[in-house]
Structure 1
């Protein structure tokens, strides 16, 4: 008896001030988004069940969370795939409200990437568990598994059954809802298969007192390619540190003034709003034909800039910007150009400058926050995307395109925008604009 009492005294007491996210009785504070899979409560557990002919379904918290530590237990059918959404969102303008954001994977397959970090409906795999055998082996098939997830600042850490799994430094979403996923299933899979969750609890205060050290090397996404991007053939267009691969549009070297590189960010410095009057535009040393281009940009209040493509630097050696098709960067709320343009609104953010207006329902993050631009050009079909949403498309060299050019200020340039290949350009329009994560895929 004395040995038993001594053993009880040695049991560590958890004084962590956890707050429950699930009361064990109701789904109060949670909302179902996405598909039509079902969620029920049995024996103090949330039970999700698969349904045929429906997309991924998520039981999401009504409240958003920024920095937090989350712990929970789950029991998953061996034939299912699932995940825990964190810092996620559902907005009408993004793929008709599709849930998107970080997902801590639940993967009972032979791949065994449970507790890896995936980005639902966006970049795909950010931290696959390719080189983490300990975490892969920690998953317990047909048993309860325990997750710990820390999201503090730009750093995400995960553990599976106390084994370190993922360590990610990423400047993506800094807040959003938490969600429990029931994945869609194919016709050959059995409907009604289950995943169960319990002991869902969270910390949001004094996190520095409870965070754990992570012995893994972090995966840093800023100015780096993710696993998914590497598989798809993306290449960095800017290394995040030097001027390698870039030069002035009217120079044989990078401008000696007007641009700054600091903290992995490339910034055109303010100089009064003039077009190419300070450091001037910069262009890639290489030219591109069919491509996809992605980058993140941050505007300051009233700023004007642009991303140009199919640029011919031999044109316009005089004043002003180099000549090419332009994905407009603009503070629409303040800059007067938003109300100008040969076609009304064709100088607004993400528009094809002076030719085609971007969709007015576009999703724009506030001034001072990062937005994402994406340009696709393949066999003369061009698309502009903003924050994951397509905002316009057109056909280069088509009759409609030629008509637009003939009605614009570009009519003075023969065959404007129809070159088979050209440089990519970042514009100096005299306002402070910052860029990062510049990458390209040749098609």
Structure 2
């Protein structure tokens, strides 16, 4: 009964925003079929990071990363239940997201709806914050206590239940405006959002969490159409070559000088080449790398031929893209780190 009343209240918000509720869809549809992850893509993690189990999406939280919908969404209402399995758990929901992470991080440009338990500081809460991340833009419904430069809306009241209790979210996204209802009441929001069309993602961030009853109502698109600059990037088929937790799928004669974890590959001084286990067909490779000391360097090796990567600012991530055909791919260097290793087939 509570959920029905809450949905009606949320639809009232939509009417105020759009003034055309009569043209909207009247049906919610499952965004998760309860049995498999069909319709979803694990972007940067292992197949064990996200599983369908007992009508829930379950994440181990390891490695930190995201799983996204295969489709992009513009205007919609999303409902879901979530819970953390440990105190101080951390996860997230991203809307209007790019398909792959921003440079050097496991997160995408998007609007994050906080899914967090327990720990708080003066600039964030665990009760439904909404904020822009990694290049997205948003004006919060209420100014942040630290100033207008902080694009984060703190909730009007604390309504989240602690772990391991369930919480219910209703997220309403229309024409670059977002509203969040937590357990029956709208508490936070933002407007003037860019991008305002993109993917929906769940975030894993170190601790186990569960999601269920995930349904979506797709609403009419904006009129006039959204300018291209306000739409998230569309997926062009990149898939991860690195599972974020170990060297599965890679080969090296020097495992002692390579370590993997937290979605980062790191090679120590004088390490050998880390090579894909199999040769690849025509492809485009994209990855981020950084050198961790003044004397560090990184290289790419294709079919045994080494090329030193362009020197960037020490300790700062750079993105490198190259196309190739029918060769093995290797990476290496001297005190260098690699992340966001993606590949896509070329026709």
- TM-score of the pair, normalised by structure 1: 0.38
Bigger share in strand? 2
- TM-score of the pair, normalised by structure 2: 0.48
